[in-house]
Amino acid sequence: MRSEPRTAGTAEPVDLMNPFKDLKDMVVAELEALARDGVLPAGLDTARVAVEPPRDPAHGDVATNAAMVLAKPAGMKPRDLAEALAGRLGAIDRVSEAAVAGPGFINLRLEPGFWHGCLAGMLRAGADYGRSDLGAGRKVNVEYVSTNPTGPLHVGHARGAVVGDVLAALFEKVGYDVVREFYINDAGAQLEALARSVYYRYREALKAEPNPIPEGFYPGEYLIAVGEDLKKTDGAKWLGVEEAPEEDPKSGWREACTNFGREAMMKMIKDDLAALGVHQEVFTSERAIIEAGVIEDALDSLEARGLIYTGTLDPPKGKTPEDWEPRPQTLFRATEFGDDVDRPLRKSDGSWTYFAPDMAYHLDKFRRGANLMIDVWGADHGGYVKRMQAAVEALTEGRGHLEVRICQLVKLLRAGEPVKMSKRAGTFVTLREVIDEVGKDVVRFIMLTRKNDAPLEFDLTKVVEQSRDNPVFYVQYAHARCRSVLRHAAEGFPGIDQDPGALARAPLARLTDSEELGLMRRLALWPRLLEGAAEAYEPHRVAFYLYDLAAAFHSLWTKGKDETQLRFLREDDPDLTAARLALVRAVALVIASGLEVFGVEPVEEMR
């Protein structure tokens, strides 16, 4: 026998910190009631049940797929299950209409009071609105930039730096314990080239009249100062010993130039990152990983489980990778963990391949407590993803997970024309030059206006334009407009307390215009948007959301200019003014919260 549906006035209170989570809980509660009535079997898994805004707002405020995902395990037709569930949902006081659409989706229209309650909850939560305990304090390691310490960062590095930094902020926002990390690639041939380049500039500083910079050296002018500093530190100590045999104590010039150059480059890189607003807590050296014997430790662990063997790989089809050799090699059984081929660990000269120290490094991260690791890499590392994920799964025996985000190239333009290379860097435009020209906030925001795996055009002229086509300006302008309204209200309505808690008690039921309600619906999406962006590793979703929120607010602003009764400030109606100030304050709060995730300062007024 079916129990009577719940009637008006008996709905559970709205979870004002996460309205869409509350709506899902509402749907799940009615599914459980159907199970108690014998309509559904008990114990159905509701993890895939979703409550989301429909693609077409004309269909309702929210829609649920509950009948579609549960019909098969329930042994029912989706439409029949949808009809039964819609009947219960339609009787809840916050739901004004529940309609079955298509094969079994349920579209819901909610009473305005639900959105008014959400608005009050946002204001009471203040800066905490959108935070959640999704991560439950679990540790996540986010590694990004991780370049060779051979020169200043370029604009391409900026994209990975921002994507990594904002991913870290997103995960913090939804309750994870986040470590931001930089892996210093200081054990390869690039450091040898750096040492020789530093030595060249050192001799230049000593007036040793060296020949023109040889092929393969770093030509950038940034190394001139490094050579000068080495001269100040060591005088002429290393002059004339570059051809000395390795066993000769005087041949220490190479080690001296490597270490001096490495430290100088890392200071430059850290300064560039700081100018971008990026501050990482952990800097791990590849060289230190090797010297500590972590590679041998990692490979011993794999060998003990039969995951390393000696074999000869078949020649690859198409382009031959650098690590393929037609000879017996020490191989990791990567194919057992989803990779395309097994992977070499040693070169023909006995040295490690690039893969071996990277395996050890990820084992080191896991041992430091990171079960979830997120790496942000450049476009040239796309072919490296499967092997590293296979290595992490093998080394951690399935307890660790590696997620990799690939950042495609950034094309730097000025008024549509490619920007020429920098004299300072020698081969590229430096990140610092771009920051100095347009500011860190612009750089950070623009880097997130495309999905990380799509190419990005960064036009130095367009990113400072004051137009709707410039998302940085458009979002900042919305926040500045909100602050302007609140300042004018403080002058014209001194009796209205603008504390968020006080505004939450304003007569919000007075907000009845369709665009006002639409803005509240959009604001209610913020907690769900944050969790979804984190779970999908897609920080660009925040940029898209902020732009759409700004557009909705600008639209309401314009409507108020044309229709007097919709203006935010009404001298003839202080109660309505207080309600609209509550809405304006919530818009400003959410935009500021989103910009905080981005590491961008919200502006108080446009200049």
Res. 250: pLDDT tops 60: no
Residue range 444-467, pLDDT digits in tens: 999 999 999 999 999 999 999 999
Give, as one character, the DSSP assignment of residue 13.
Answer: P
Distance CA 89, CA 102 (A): 18
Residue range 345-370, pLDDT digits in tens: 998 888 899 999 999 999 999 999 99
Res. 140: pLDDT tops 70: yes
E strand spans, 44-104: 51-52, 62-64, 95-101
Same fold, 19-110 and 471-598: no
The mean pLDDT of 541-548, rounded to a whole number, is 98
Q: What is the structure's pLDDT at 270?
A: 98
Contacts for 263-272: CB closer than 8 Å, 24+ residues apart? 264/198, 264/226, 264/229, 265/149, 265/150, 265/151, 265/194, 266/149, 266/184, 268/151, 268/152, 268/222, 269/145, 269/147, 269/149, 269/152, 269/153, 271/432, 272/152, 272/153, 272/430, 272/431, 272/432, 272/435
Q: Where do we find the tokens 């290595």?
A: 391
The mean pLDDT of 541-560, rounded to a whole number, is 97
Please give the helix or strand (H or E) that residue 265 lies within, else none: helix 253-275
CB-side exposure of 140: number of CA atoms within 13 Å? 29
In 10 A of CB 477, how many CB atoms? 20
Adjacent-strand bridge partners of 101: 105
The mean pLDDT of 139-164, rounded to a whole number, is 95
The mean pLDDT of 172-189, rounded to a whole number, is 96
Query: Mapping DSSP to helix (H, G, I), strand (E, B) and coil, where does residue 101 land?
Result: strand
- CA 281 vs. chain centroid, Å, equals 17
The mean pLDDT of 36-61, rounded to a whole number, is 93
Q: List C-alpha distances in Å: 555 to 60, 140, 166, 476, 483.
A: 21, 39, 28, 15, 17
The mean pLDDT of 592-599, rounded to a whole number, is 97
Q: What is the structure's pLDDT at 76?
A: 96
Res. 244: pLDDT tops 70: no
Q: What is the mean pLDDT of the chain?
A: 92
Res. 422: pLDDT tops 90: no
Name the residue type at position 55. R
- Contact assessment for residue 388 and residue 395, using Cβ atoms and an 8 Å cutoff: no
Q: Where do we find the tokens 């997970």?
A: 401
Look at strands 372-378 and 410-414 and give their pairing: unpaired
Query: Mapping DSSP to helix (H, G, I), strand (E, B) and coil, where does residue 514 land?
Result: helix
Give, as one character, the DSSP assignment of residue 7.
Answer: -
Domain boundaries, the chain: 19-110, 189-275, 471-598
Please give the helix or strand (H or E) that residue 343 lies within, else none: strand 343-344
Q: How many DSSP H helices and E strands does the chain contain?
A: 20, 15
Q: List C-alpha distances in Å: 246 to 203, 255, 256.
A: 20, 11, 13
Residue range 405-414, pLDDT digits in tens: 999 999 999 9
- Contact assessment for residue 240 and residue 158, using Cβ atoms and an 8 Å cutoff: no
Structure tokens at 14: 């709205």
Q: What is the structure's pLDDT at 248?
A: 52
- Contact assessment for residue 523 and residue 586, using Cβ atoms and an 8 Å cutoff: yes
End-to-end Cα separation, the chain, in angstroms: 68
The mean pLDDT of 214-228, rounded to a whole number, is 91
CB-side exposure of 315: number of CA atoms within 13 Å? 4
Q: What is the structure's pLDDT at 508?
A: 97
Give, as one character, the DSSP assignment of residue 81.
Answer: H
Distance CA 6, CA 4 (A): 6
**R_g of the chain, CA atoms, integer Å:** 30
Sign of the dihedral through C-alpha 148, 149, 150, 156: positive
- CATH homologous superfamily of 471-598: Isoleucyl-tRNA Synthetase; Domain 1 (1.10.730.10)
Got the DSSP string for 406-467?
EEPPEEEEETTEEPPPPTTTSSS-BHHHHHHHH-HHHHHHHTTSS-TTS-EEEETTGGG--S
Look at strands 105-110 and 95-101 and give their pairing: antiparallel
Sign of the dihedral through C-alpha 30, 36, 38, 41: positive
The mean pLDDT of 119-127, rounded to a whole number, is 94
Structure tokens at 542: 């925040």
Got the DSSP string for 132-171?
--TTTT-EEEEE-----SSS--BHHHHHHHHHHHHHHHHH
Distance CA 599, CA 585 (A): 21
CA angle 216, 221, 226 (to 5 degrees): 90
Q: What is the structure's pLDDT at 188?
A: 84
Distance CA 35, CA 29 (A): 10
Q: Where do we find the tokens 């005087």?
A: 250
Name the percent of the chain lying above pLDDT 70.
93
Residue 327 binned pLDDT confidence (cut-offs 50, 70, 90): confident
Res. 554: pLDDT tops 90: yes
Name the residue type at position 509. A
Report the C-alpha dihedral over residues 274, 277, 279, 285, rounded to 10 degrees: -60
Res. 585: pLDDT tops 70: yes
Distance CA 355, CA 196 (A): 26
Give the right CATH number for 19-110 from 3.10.180.10, 3.40.630.30, 3.30.1360.70, 3.30.930.10. 3.30.1360.70
Tell me phi and psi for residue 309, to 5 degrees. -150, 170
